[in-house]
Homo-oligomer: A and B are copies of this chain.
Amino acid sequence: MSVEAYIARLAAAVEQALDSAIPVEWDVPGKLREAMMYSLKAGGKRIRPVLVLAAAEAVRGDESAAEAAMPAACAVELVHTYSLIHDDLPAMDDDDFRRGKLTNHKVFGEAMAILAGDALLTHAFHLIAEAALSGRLPADAALAITADLARLAGASGMVGGQAADMLGEQGVTSLDEMRYIHLHKTSDLITFSLTAGGRAGGADAAQIDALAAFGMRIGLAFQIRDDILDVVGDERVLGKKTNSDARRLKVTYPYLIGLDASRAEVERLTREAKEVLLDASLRKPDLLLGIAEYLVSRDR
């Protein structure tokens, strides 16, 4: 099976699971539920949940851990979605469109967008705990996944990266600062995806460390690739305007170290990521490596 076909198959399974992520029997105000589902089903590429499922399969050697991994796969997509809703708010990046659709607050208003984000974040933790309480995921894995998610999505993780990005709009000057932002704003949730899949698949401590090291590098490479595409990408292929970073005066890798050095950094990170993964004695690392290769060489 090609990597693209494998990704498409996993993404389709995630898509279906997300439809019932918020229990229909829950007494949720209609508008709030609508706002949550609007952004959750807005056509995301499901990269993070696909990585969760692929990591579980890489560790286990087959698809038998897919049911155990699915709650964390949905959870990371809920967290990613909430972060987009809040990032798009007028007080933050003030975006009217995302993936060609109106942003959440443009449709439902700012108050409902804030609350929809809060509710999606909160619900991510319910999915994981509930999977353990109903016996689909071992308790120790669920607790480790919960702690990882809270750390990597929180003040020292994704939210920390977003805060540094907002604060840095007065001028990011160093590569260290840029790296902190990319690492936490983007890479941390990718790292979470890999370790969560690993934990659901029964990985040992060394394998979890390797998956985290792999995720950190792939996540960083993925973000630098994004910076590069914003400069050299084809608008028709990307489906969005290029040079948006420059127009917003966002400091990026190409801006700080140039295009060639940025490309070299993507290559170095990808090479290191592969090495660390191949050393981890996973039963079936190939598809995971293929996805990584696909993510960092994409042209959109």
Please report A residues at the B interface, Cβ cutoff 8 Å: 22, 26-29, 31-33, 36, 82, 86, 89, 91-92, 109-112, 114-115, 117-119, 121-126, 128-130, 132-133, 139-140, 142-144, 146-147, 149-151, 153-156, 159-160, 162-164, 166-167, 180
Contacts and interface: CB of A to CB of B under 8 A. Distances in A.
Nearest to A91: B110
Contacts of A133: 143-144, 147
Contacts of A140: 139
Nearest to A89: B114
Given A28-B155, A167-B31, A162 B92 contact: no
B126 A163 contact: no
A153 B123 CA distance: 9
Given A33-B155, A163-B29, A91 B119 contact: no
A145 B175 CA distance: 41
A28 to B, nearest CB: 4
Contacts of A119: 154-155, 159-160, 163
A126 B154 CA distance: 9
Copies of this chain in its oligomeric complex: 2
A143 B147 contact: no
A95 to B, nearest CB: 13
B162 A27 contact: no
Kindly list the 5 A-B residue pairs having the minimum CB-CB distance in the complex, ordered from nearest: A126-B150, A91-B110, A122-B154, A129-B147, A129-B146
A121 B118 contact: yes
Contact of A143 (B121, B143, B180): B143
Nearest to A122: B154
Given A118-B121, A122-B154, 7 more contacts: A28-B156, A29-B160, A31-B167, A92-B114, A121-B121, A124-B150, A129-B146
A227 to B, nearest CB: 21
A114 B126 contact: no
A156 to B, nearest CB: 4
A155 B122 contact: yes
Contact of A111 (B91, B109, B112): B91
A111 B92 contact: yes
A192 to B, nearest CB: 12
A30 B221 CA distance: 26
Nearest to A128: B146
22 contacts: A28-B160, A32-B155, A114-B114, A115-B159, A117-B118, A118-B118, A119-B154, A119-B159, A121-B121, A122-B153, A123-B154, A123-B155, A124-B150, A125-B125, A125-B146, A125-B149, A126-B151, A126-B154, A129-B146, A129-B147, A130-B147, A139-B143
A91 B118 contact: no
Contacts of A154: 119, 122-123, 126
